[in-house]
Structure 1
Amino acid sequence: MTKILLSLHVLAAIVAIGPVTVAASMFPPAARKAHAPAEGEADLGTVRLLHRICRIYAKMGLAVPVFGFATAAAMGVLSSGWLTASIALTAAAAGILVAFVLPRQDELIDTLGTHKALERSDTVQLAMFTGVFNLLWATVTILMIVRPGSTTGA
């Protein structure tokens, strides 16, 4: 059963978190491009699509900690330090996505939809939050693979 839970946890992470990290990273440059007067309307569709991908896959991403807790319980590692750190980093990543990335994407789409001036600082700040989100997920991934104190030799 542990192998099934672990497989579901890893698959959920790949399928749900991967698209969010990619789409969120593509959003700021796509928003800057959509703001350019020459091709604006076609590119606004791209920006909206990237935001939709982020929202939908973020919801799907809830399966990752659910399967993760089930796997950790089955493996008897719920009290391990690397797991506690991974849980904290995952919570921080989710918080950044929900509190900063998705709302800022909404604001930028609204700005682009009204053809107001878009400052570079508007997208730079979003890119920074997205980078932190991605860095936290990369760190969690490394912790999951290395697992300090692991007896598997990894």
Structure 2
Amino acid sequence: MTKFLLAIHVLAAIIAVGPVTVAASMFPAAVRRAQAAGPDAAGRSGVRLLHRICRVYAALGMAVPVFGFATASSLGVLGDAWLITSIVLTAAAAGVLALLVLPGQERLLGRLDGSGPPVDRGATARLAMLTGAFNLLWAVVTVLMIIRPGSTTGA
């Protein structure tokens, strides 16, 4: 059962978190291109699609910690420092995504649609920085999950 839970946990991480990291990373540049293109519906629809991918896959990403806790419980590692650190970093990544990245994307979408001032480079740069922080947090969690400090299989 542990192997099954671990497989589902890893698959959920790849299938749910991967698209969010890619789409969120592409979003600021897509906004800049759409702004430069003017009232081009195709450019704006691409930006909306990237935002939708981020929203939908963020919701699907809730399966990652659910199966992660089940796997950790099955392995008996719920109290291990590397796992607690991973949990804290995962919560931080979720917070950055839910409280900063997704609302930032929505604000930029609104500005593209004419609600507010035109999109400036500073706004897209801030969103790119927040997205980078989100991606970095997930990268650290991934490394911790692979090396598991103190484990018999760790480096």
Q: Into which bin does the TM-score normalised by the smaller protein fall?
A: over 0.9
CA RMSD of aligned residues (A): 1.2
- Tell me the alpha carbon deviations over residues 115-152 of structure 1, each in whole angstroms, 9 at most, x when there is no partner: 74211001000000000000000000000000000112
Equivalent residue runs for 1:1-16 within 5 Å? 1-16=1-16
Give the corresponding residue for 1:59.
59
Confirm whether residue 83 of structure 1 aligns to residue 71 of structure 2.
Answer: no
- Tell me the alpha carbon deviations over residues 27-73 of structure 1, each in whole angstroms, 9 at most, x when there is no partner: 00000000013573211000000000000000000000000000000
Question: Where does the alignment leave 5 or more consecutive residues of structure 1 unmatched?
Answer: none
Distance 2:108 2:133 in 1: 19
- Is the 1:24–1:51 contact (alpha carbons within 8 Å) kept by the matching residues of 2? yes
Give the corresponding residue for 1:106.
106
Distance 1:136 1:38 in 2: 35
Percent identity at matched positions? 63
Moved over 6 A (4+): none
**1:153 CA displacement:** 4.4
Deviates more, 1:113-122 or 1:54-63: 113-122
Confirm whether residue 123 of structure 1 aligns to residue 118 of structure 2.
Answer: no
- Is the 2:34–2:44 contact (alpha carbons within 8 Å) kept by the matching residues of 1? yes
- Is the 1:5–1:67 contact (alpha carbons within 8 Å) kept by the matching residues of 2? yes
Work out the number of aligned pairs and report it. Answer: 154
- Partner SS state of residue 36, structure 1: helix
Distance 1:17 1:65 in 2: 11
Give the corresponding residue for 2:26.
26
- Is the 2:16–2:60 contact (alpha carbons within 8 Å) kept by the matching residues of 1? yes
Distance 2:154 2:24 in 1: 35
- Is the 2:147–2:153 contact (alpha carbons within 8 Å) kept by the matching residues of 1? no
Question: Where does the alignment leave 5 or more consecutive residues of structure 2 unmatched?
Answer: none
Amino acid at match of 2:95: G
- The TM-score with structure 2 as length reference comes to 0.96
- Partner SS state of residue 72, structure 2: helix
Give the corresponding residue for 1:150.
151
- The TM-score with structure 1 as length reference comes to 0.97
Deviates more, 1:129-138 or 1:38-47: 38-47
